[in-house]
Structure 1
Amino acid sequence: MLKPRISPQEYEKDSHSLYSMRKSNAKAKGKAAVPFGDPQPRVVSTLEDRVNALKHTVISGDALKTHEFYDESHLLALYEDLLALPQEETQEPAVKKPEEDPLPIVQKIAERLLPDISEPSTSAIAAQPMRYAILQQLDQVIADLETAEAYTTKAESEDAADAVLDVPVMLVSQKEWMALIYHCIRERDTDAAERALSLMIRAKCDIPEETFNAVLVVYARTGNVAKANDFVSKFLIASPTETQRDLHIRTYLEAISDTAFPTDALHILHDYETRGLAPPQKAYSRVITHLLSARSAVAHAHAWDLFAHMRYVAHPKPDAFMYATMIRACASSAISNHGEPERALDLFTEMTVDNGIAPTAAAYIATILACARSGRAKYVHEGFRLAKQMMDAHRDAYGHSQFMPDRRFFCALLEGAKRIGDLGRVRWILAEMARESMQRGADGQEQIDPRRSVHEEIMLHVFHAYAAYRVPFHRSLAPKAPQDKPQDATTQQEEPEALTAAQAEEAARDLVAEPDHAFTRLPPQSHPEVLYEAQALFARLRADRARGSGVFAHVEPTPRLLNAYLSVHYAHAPLERWRALWSTLHADAGVPRNAHTYVEVLERCANAKKPERPAALQVAEEAFAQWRSLEDAWRATGPQEVAAHARLIERAHAAMIRLYALTNDLDRAVELTKAFAAAYPPSTLRDPPARAPFRSTRTNLLGARPLVRVFNAAEIPDDAVPPLLAFGELEALHHRLAAAGRTADVRYVTWLCKAYEGALRARRERALEATMHPVYRAEPAV
């Protein structure tokens, strides 16, 4: 049976006390006491009391004149502050700079300490011997004072008043010391700056943190690891501050290239963790950014591991900069070919909803880019929804969007639109960019803003969209109209001829500058219309570039831009049309060809239709001869260069072998296959690259290793696999050899494919075995 919390006597006592309290309060207000338990007063009477109270509240006109109300300016300032977004953080450390020029202060020190210098020079170059003379004079004076203090301390004295007090000697004020150090740093004389710091310590002066940071910044920017380590061990051995730890780690990152794995930086970062001095979040973001820029699958996976490790041991709540960095990493294809849009959306939701961090433009654009590069329609549309939210949901006190669209924003949108073949949206984005880049100059004329103008990457996405676009109209499916007269040779043509240079220039005269008149409402409905728009855009691009003004004046022709323009012709024009263009385009633009130029034309020739194959073979042989010289240069450089272009080498040889097989030139196809196997034998695939020292599948509670693994060894792709040929690439040759009855060649092709497959399997097993504990590794066979 449940016991009551209070007894009936206590309840009655509390009730009487509550009633007496209510009665006394009512008497004080001049009202009758309301008995305990009586119903509440009516709503009408309560309303009458409020009205009577308002009648007695009278404000005079003079009081209204003197009363301070919020005017429009105060309200606008209030809403500007409330609706303002926080500024985006950067990786640069907050190092305080001197407020005034240190040279005049140094000259005053010289006048006081060096009487021989009567007229100090005002030039910084002539003042170089001055700082050495000042430091030498201060060193001598402090040494004399130290000698005198040591002698007096040893002397026996019974009187306490005669004892020497340990007080700083004010030869130079703190402001003058700092001016002297900043002057040495400005002259890039870090040895003199360190000497001045040593003298300050000997003189028992208080040294601000900014003074140490100013010297350490010089070592961090130049990547002088030896000097930085000596400086930390000499001046900051006790407990470096967060800024100093960040600068120390930054020194190791600046000392290596952007593509190198930052082993030493990771060692010093985990060493600080072991000492109980967790580096600041900026230091982690620096290392993670460097790992992501290395363009290696192992480095990319380690960046995710370090991000999870940071949240576990140091900073559980990342800042906006770190979130934007990791969301952009989801758009990379280092681990997955289509990125990780789900993880990007989860991180964005965690940032904005769970942690309540205001979204930044970098976070929005990174999320849109991750959704766009997935290539899936549902994520691409989610990216466009986020773009609309970015522009509409965040407005200032004037009603304007606080996120101005820039090139990164438009590039992310174009990335998604081109991957789903939405040419209509690509054309609209290009017209919007052309409109946004226009601004009024001081003379009232329209000018192009270089910061927001169309550049090379924008046009790269535009041409890719034209190449990926599938026309809805197919001429072969259209019903034939009745004709009374037979058609001649000119009327029987299915497609018009390509535009000449003059015709393309005339068609591009008003393109994009007047999008309503230049673009039709519907996208191109046939292949000739697609080519017409692409040629007009390219002609306008070259005209604006040559003229130095216009929407496309800042578009620089690069090899990848010309390759994108050629891809439009590969997709929508027959071989006779783009053959001459491929031969002359790069030479006319003065841009050299790159590896992708040859690989793309070889693949286009390999996929040519049967009537086009003889002409395609001529183009492919010419391109493959030039490709061989490029491949020989890579092989002469070393295996690392070959591994970096391994997939391109595979694509080029596979396309040429397929074209030989389809044209029934089986001897040359087999010969090229054997030459490839001799240059890149299957045995070279068996040995995996050396494992990074920080990669491990075990959880280590001690030592310089991350505690968390986001990707295990089996999930990380091997991006250093040498060139190889799989059966899918030799399938056409295998079928043609079997049809011709060449049994020996069929067996060789089958053996080669199986050899490459077995070498890959052995490489994977050895790579996984290298990550295992020595106890679980397989013993070598006797």
Structure 2
Amino acid sequence: MPLLPLELAFISTPTKCIIHPLNRLLHTASRSATPAYPLRLSLNAKEQSLVPSPTDEASLTQPFLPPISTFSEKDLKALYRDVLRIDVASTVSPSYRDKIVDPSLVLPRLSKRIVLGSRQTLDKNINSLSSRLQSRHGPSEPVAAPTNLSRGKPYSELLNALQCQQSVLALPLISNSSTSAPIVNATEWASLVDACIRELDFEGVFLVLRAMKTHGQVIEDELHHHIMSAMADEGLFHQLQTYASEFLQERDDMPHFQHIVTALCKCRLFSSAIQLLHQQEAKGHLPPMAVYHSLILGLLHTSSPGAAARQAIAWNIFYHMRYVAHPIPSVQLYTDMIRACAHHTEPDTLRGFDLWTEMTVDKRLTPTVDAYNAIILLAARDNRTAHEAIRLAREMLDVGRDADGKPALPLNTGTYAALLESCKHTGDLLRARWALTKLAGDVFTSTSSIDHWTLSNLFHAYASYKVPFVRDMAAPTRSEQPSLEAHKQAQSIEQRLDDIVATTATQSSITSGLQLPQTSKAVLNELDTMMDHLIAEKTSTGNIKTQLPRLFDQVTNLNIVIRSFLRAYFIHAHRVSDVFARAQSIHRLLKLDWSHEVIRLVLSQCARTGSGSPSQETMKFAEELWSAWLGILEKERHLPNRWTPMGLNTPADRREVPISTVRASHISMIWSSFIRLKTRYGDVDGAVQLLKQFERLYPPSTTKTNLDPHMPLETKISLEGPRTLIKVVERGKIDDDTIPPVLVFTDIVALHKRLARDQRTKDINYLTYLLHAYAGNVRDRRSFNLAVNDLEDGWRGKKSVGSDGEAKVKARIKWEKRRARVASRVRTSRR
């Protein structure tokens, strides 16, 4: 039995006996009293007197000293380690697919064993005595030739041989030894099944499983789950039903129900999945929590259009599950819901922290590493709680440390990525470097975990970093007349700043020291160093590949990285021409076309920078980007729009015909930015022509079409059972992300001012008509989609004025004030 820390302290360090005054009186009384037991037995069974001797009297006057510990420092450390031992394993168990042997190693061995063996067995059985005797009594049935199954696959001959061998085993006069001998072991069967799954050949999977049943091989539950998960990811719900009826007949727990729900969500048949779930509830067969979890994840992890509405349905299903079937969710489900709060367009911080408190305090569930990563990411994405992410990370490290100081929940790549997200909001460049160093890992063994999101967040941290020295501080003010001494002093300060910049530039690297850049030029030098390293890795020019470590192997989406890099460059560069030159050089070296992310950033920055007319160089670069933007629209014109709701759409269909990458809000932002640039440059006619071109491509009438079919219109759904599904997300707070590109007044306010100054009444009337048409149709679309009337229910965009009662009271007061004003005017006119 391990000792308690108090016992360990008592053993290791002797303490002095402090006698309480009351105990001292009792001790004195016991000395003068007659002993109650005059005799005692010794070790040799002889009676001895208990009357204290003079030596005993002397010993009683001395304080009691506990025995000195005989434990060494090593023994005490071992005891301390046993007391603080962590019995729960912190490592994640490997998945079933990781346990499967690589099919490329197994397929050649199986082909050599089965393909050749099946040919020899077939020839032997055809020439056997039984076949000749059967041919005398009647016409012999021809042996079926092997069909070409899975043509073109690396295992096609193997599957044909398995099918042929099944027919051979059905022939008579075959010895029992040949039928009972195992052709393939369990590991090789699993590798063959995994090879078919990697090729998305599920007909071959069915054939392999039938062969396993023929040869008496037991199919493990993990293999069943692996196959059904692959089918669910491809949206094959019909094949899942066939699979369950053929291979899971003896199972009563319906393990395929979870995968059928996932497959329906992959095909965007969300209403069918919810209806199937409610049918099971109405029958009294409450599905397990894994089924609800699969449905919630299917609703959350779908892209636009209609993502906001499906997220609202997911939250309704989450609370409905707690009300109907499972009141206490699992830790993983809590984690996914907290992560969903973090991935909102506007992070739902309050709801996420409420779930965290409920999980850890109310339900007393032990959080995992993923749970801490989710709450850290939620705190990091909000500017008000970005510093709270650091505290949560420290709390995560302090959970369950052992004697050696090793935490039970160590930080992983997800934690460092979340902390890098917080550095982006706080501008903490020092901690951002530290997180990047941890993500880089052992760079010389190619274990870097830096991806395009990580690198993008790092560049955003550079963009939000505030340099302590500004060059404008060295220049004299305009009101002062610069004297010779002031000019010399300014030159000396300028030279000192340049020396600091040079020193910082020589010492700066991706993982170097604690010195932060002191000027904007030093920040630009560090940005250029990292971008040059990225370009060198992606282009592999010269001997850079052998000289520098590989940091950015996992960086795939370069457009996102370039956009965040140029954003930081715009903030810290002194001239816009430097940004243009750097952007052109990056695209030329990486051989990339202009992406809509870069075009949107550059045009919006140029439109917002300055108040006067833009330079000719800026307009030339903007015209180049606009030509590239029109080319992107022409190239993606045949693709489905991101704001058009789609019906039945399987993952295979999405791979063949991908959806457009441009969002409706991005189109509106790019168009409005270029219109503002044209207006500031003085080309008003060109700005008006751009406005008319936008109306031709995206007319106001399209805002009433393609309504989202997944918008939750009902306030309450009654089931056949005794319980009801109550909506927890109000309709008015659901963002409609299926709205086509539109323009509002704030987008073209500069053009309106210029038209009013030039007194162009005809263009002003056209502008007024167009803006009112877009606004009115969007208002009607909102009422059609959400069944919300902005004037009656009191909704103003995303936020509500109050409850329905408060909105009606305010409307009543406003109407009474207006009636009073009208009545006073009437009385005044009569007088």
TM-score w.r.t. structure 1 length? Answer: 0.70
Q: Which residue is 2:317 aligned to?
A: 306
Q: Which residue is 1:463 aligned to?
A: 459
Amino acid in structure 2 at the alignment position of 1:331: A
SS in 1 for 2:637: helix
SS in 2 for 1:707: strand
Q: Which residue is 2:430 aligned to?
A: 427
Shift of 1:406: 2.8
Between 600-609 and 267-276, report the one with greater CA deviation.
Answer: 267-276
Q: Which residue is 1:225 aligned to?
A: 237
Shift of 1:380: 0.8
Shift of 1:484: 2.3
Cα distance in 2 between the residues matched to 1:618 and 1:496 = 37
Q: Could you tell me which of 506, 521, 529 is aligned with 1:536?
A: 529
Q: Could you tell me which of 239, 245, 250 is aligned with 2:257?
A: 245
Cα distance in 2 between the residues matched to 1:670 and 1:461 = 38
Judged with a 3 Å threshold, the aligned counterparts in structure 2 of structure 1 residues 622 and 231 are, in CA distance, closer, same or farther, namely closer
Matches within 5 A, 1:388-537: 388-420=394-426, 422=427, 425-431=428-434, 433-434=436-437, 437=440, 439=442, 448=444, 450-476=446-472, 480=476, 483-484=483-484, 507=505, 511-516=509-514, 519-520=515-516, 523-524=517-518, 526-537=519-530
Q: Could you tell me which of 272, 277, 282 is aligned with 2:290?
A: 282
Q: Could you tell me which of 389, 392, 403 is aligned with 1:383?
A: 389
Q: CA RMSD in A?
A: 5.1
Q: Which residue is 1:731 aligned to?
A: 749
Between 467-476 and 604-613, report the one with greater CA deviation.
Answer: 467-476
Q: Which residue is 2:609 aligned to?
A: 608
Judged with a 3 Å threshold, the aligned counterparts in structure 2 of structure 1 residues 510 and 382 are, in CA distance, closer, same or farther, namely closer
Matches within 5 A, 1:88-99: none
Shift of 1:598: 0.8
Amino acid in structure 1 at the alignment position of 2:302: A
Cα distance in 2 between the residues matched to 1:127 and 1:705 = 55
Matches within 5 A, 1:545-556: 546=540, 547-548=544-545, 549-550=548-549, 552-554=551-553, 556=555
Q: Could you tell me which of 663, 673, 681 is aligned with 1:663?
A: 681
Judged with a 3 Å threshold, the aligned counterparts in structure 2 of structure 1 residues 635 and 432 are, in CA distance, closer, same or farther, namely closer
Q: Could you tell me which of 132, 138, 141 is aligned with 2:166?
A: 132
Amino acid in structure 2 at the alignment position of 1:384: I
Cα distance in 2 between the residues matched to 1:568 and 1:714 = 37
Q: Which residue is 1:348 aligned to?
A: 356
Q: Could you tell me which of 82, 88, 108 is aligned with 1:84?
A: 88
Judged with a 3 Å threshold, the aligned counterparts in structure 2 of structure 1 residues 291 and 56 are, in CA distance, closer, same or farther, namely farther
The answer to whether the 8 A contact 2:474-2:494 is kept is no
Shift of 1:654: 0.4
Q: Which residue is 2:592 aligned to?
A: 591
Amino acid in structure 2 at the alignment position of 1:749: L
The answer to whether the 8 A contact 1:414-1:426 is kept is no
1:41-60 superposed Cα distances (whole Å, 9 cap, x missing partner)? x96599999999xx9999xx
SS in 2 for 1:330: helix
Shift of 1:703: 9.1
Amino acid in structure 1 at the alignment position of 2:633: E
Q: Which residue is 1:330 aligned to?
A: 341
Shift of 1:199: 12
Q: Which residue is 2:769 aligned to?
A: 751
Identity, in percent, stands at: 26
SS in 2 for 1:359: coil
Judged with a 3 Å threshold, the aligned counterparts in structure 2 of structure 1 residues 240 and 594 are, in CA distance, closer, same or farther, namely farther
Matches within 5 A, 1:51-70: none
Cα distance in 2 between the residues matched to 1:307 and 1:91 = 27
Q: Which residue is 2:150 aligned to?
A: none
Matches within 5 A, 1:101-112: none
Matches within 5 A, 1:662-701: 662-687=680-705, 689-692=707-710, 696-701=714-719
The answer to whether the 8 A contact 1:650-1:724 is kept is yes
SS in 1 for 2:726: coil
TM-score w.r.t. structure 2 length? Answer: 0.66
Cα distance in 1 between the residues matched to 2:567 and 2:230 = 48
The answer to whether the 8 A contact 1:511-1:540 is kept is no
Cα distance in 2 between the residues matched to 1:448 and 1:94 = 25
The answer to whether the 8 A contact 1:688-1:767 is kept is no
Shift of 1:362: 0.8
Structure 2 segments unaligned to the other structure (5+ residues): 1-22, 44-73, 127-156, 197-203, 645-658, 790-831
Cα distance in 1 between the residues matched to 2:319 and 2:335 = 15
The answer to whether the 8 A contact 1:86-1:358 is kept is no
The answer to whether the 8 A contact 1:599-1:651 is kept is yes
1:139-179 superposed Cα distances (whole Å, 9 cap, x missing partner)? x99xxxxxxxxxxxxxxxxxxxxxxxxxxxxx999999997
Are 1:715 and 2:733 matched, yes or no? yes
Shift of 1:704: 14
Cα distance in 1 between the residues matched to 2:639 and 2:685 = 31
Structure 1 segments unaligned to the other structure (5+ residues): 1-39, 59-69, 142-170, 440-446, 772-782
Cα distance in 2 between the residues matched to 1:215 and 1:623 = 48
The answer to whether the 8 A contact 2:258-2:290 is kept is yes
Q: What is the count of residue pairs matched by the alignment?
A: 648
Shift of 1:531: 2.0
Between 732-741 and 540-549, report the one with greater CA deviation.
Answer: 540-549
Cα distance in 2 between the residues matched to 1:530 and 1:595 = 26
SS in 2 for 1:699: strand
1:580-624 superposed Cα distances (whole Å, 9 cap, x missing partner)? 222222121233331111111111221232264433222212211
Higher relative contact order (CA 8 A, sep 6+): 2
Shift of 1:365: 1.0
Shift of 1:316: 1.6
Amino acid in structure 2 at the alignment position of 1:534: L
The answer to whether the 8 A contact 1:261-1:299 is kept is no
The answer to whether the 8 A contact 1:301-1:716 is kept is yes
The answer to whether the 8 A contact 1:132-1:192 is kept is no
The answer to whether the 8 A contact 1:513-1:551 is kept is no
Q: Which residue is 1:776 aligned to?
A: none
The answer to whether the 8 A contact 2:676-2:751 is kept is yes
The answer to whether the 8 A contact 2:716-2:726 is kept is no
Q: Which residue is 2:796 aligned to?
A: none
